[in-house]
Amino acid sequence: MDAPQRERVVLVHDWLTGTRGGEKCLEPLCRRWPDAKLFTLLHKRGSVPPAIEGTRVHPSFLNALPRVEKYYRYLLPVMPFAAGWSVTDADLVVSLSHAVAKSARPPKGVPHVCYCFTPMRYAWHMQEAYFRETGFVGKLKARAIDTLLGRIREWDRRTASRVTHFVAISNTVRDRIRDCYDRDAAVIYPPVDTDFYTPSGEPREDFYLVVSALAPYKRFDLAIDACARLGKKLIVIGSGQHATKLKASAGPNVSFLGWQPDEVIRDHLRRAKALLFPGEEDFGIVPLEAQACGCPVIGFGRGGLAETVRPLGEASEPTGAFFAEQTVDAVCEAIERFERALDRFDPRAARRQAVLFRKDRFEQELFSFLEAILQGSPTEVRKAA
């Protein structure tokens, strides 16, 4: 469907420093409204798709700091000050937020739709992980940390009132929005490129796969330790601040490939016995990219994964296997259970599951929602066929 061409739309995104799941949600908005203003904390030129680069990007004062893209995640305490966006001359404000983008202040009477990846995770449900990752633990007293987080949560809750309509990326996030902001939200799942991620039809090989940014909360230490205990080959694709520690703990059965382009990721998803996904995610696009390639998923059965994978023991056509605890024992048991039931996993079933989350479905649902708001109509999500 065609979106209105004369509407003045302002977009807001937390930061533009690379192409991940959030940028894949932003890109179709930029294609639809190429003349939109795009406010963001940081913009590393050339790091995002051309459709995003082609908009009128307005970064905050943080962008002037030398090499800020290397350490911006450490700047959580000052981000609210940098995110003081007061939008003018707009008919619609759309923010895509997991940190501060939703704080944009729209003109009076103008709708502000927040496509929410999660409430600010480091202030609410991942505060311990944040301070551990950034090295603040031991440098700040517990009372100072509690005071800082309390102020950030207060700011986060207060600026939620600037949003007229929340849209969550999953039912998991919808529940968090309700808990943190006492607001309801529609649910529109993010897009998966099922045209690019396709099966090869070749037999699967005897290795397991991890694909992700290597951050502590992803819990890939569990995958490494479980594969070491079981003597399974594991290939790790991804980079991040936790890579050095993971490499130090890994045995000869683990290969680290670092960052790789999408074509290499697709090739490995087509060949792997299964994707290992031990963290709890808000949604998780990689497990769906795996299923689009016919690859089963073995993961922690909470968060977004519980909404995107059909688990062994519950589904007639399973596309993965879950474990209920984030322990090495639980991961080992899930791998062994998966291997005993290999004949139950049909790559065609995995593909059918992934196609439910295809890109055109996302765009149809999101733009029908925004169209309804622009027209002043009821904002029910019209599901794609």
Residue 140 and residue 275 in one domain: no
Residue 186 and residue 110 in one domain: yes
Whether 136 shows a pLDDT value over 60: the answer reads no
Q: Report percent pLDDT > 90 for the chain.
A: 77
Does 181 reside within a domain? Answer: yes
**Main-chain phi, psi angles of 321, to 5 degrees:** -135, 140
Does 60 reside within a domain? Answer: yes
> How far is residue 105 from each of residues 80, 173, 265, 275, 328, measured CA to CA in Å?
13, 22, 39, 41, 46
Tens of pLDDT, residues 192-212: 999 999 999 899 999 999 998
Alpha helices in the chain (DSSP H): 21-32, 50-53, 79-82, 127-134, 142-159, 171-181, 220-230, 243-249, 262-271, 286-292, 305-308, 328-340, 347-355, 359-374
CB 16 within 8 Å of CB 48: yes
Does 4 reside within a domain? Answer: no
CB 98 within 8 Å of CB 118: yes
Whether 130 shows a pLDDT value over 80: the answer reads no
Whether 168 shows a pLDDT value over 70: the answer reads yes
Angle, in degrees to the nearest 10, between helices 171-181 and 142-159: 100
Does 196 reside within a domain? Answer: no
Whether 139 shows a pLDDT value over 80: the answer reads no
Residue 272, pLDDT score: 98
Tens of pLDDT, residues 262-281: 999 999 999 999 999 999 99
Does 290 reside within a domain? Answer: yes
Count of domains for the chain: 2
Residue 224 and residue 167 in one domain: no
Does 38 reside within a domain? Answer: yes
Tens of pLDDT, residues 48-83: 999 999 999 999 999 999 999 888 877 888 899 999
Residue 233 and residue 290 in one domain: yes
Residue 178 and residue 223 in one domain: no
Here the CATH number for the domain that contains residue 243 is 3.40.50.2000
Residue 352, pLDDT score: 98
Whether 2 shows a pLDDT value over 60: the answer reads no
Residue 221 and residue 325 in one domain: yes
Residue 163 and residue 180 in one domain: yes
Residue 48 and residue 159 in one domain: yes
Q: How far apart are CA 255 and CA 251, in angstroms?
A: 9
Residue 214 and residue 345 in one domain: yes
Average pLDDT of span 247-253: 91
DSSP for residue 20: S
**Main-chain phi, psi angles of 256, to 5 degrees:** -105, 120
Residue 52 and residue 173 in one domain: yes
Whether 184 shows a pLDDT value over 80: the answer reads yes
Supply the range of the domain harboring residue 350. 208-355
Whether 133 shows a pLDDT value over 80: the answer reads no
Residue 134 and residue 269 in one domain: no
Q: How far apart are CA 331 and CA 277, in angstroms?
A: 10
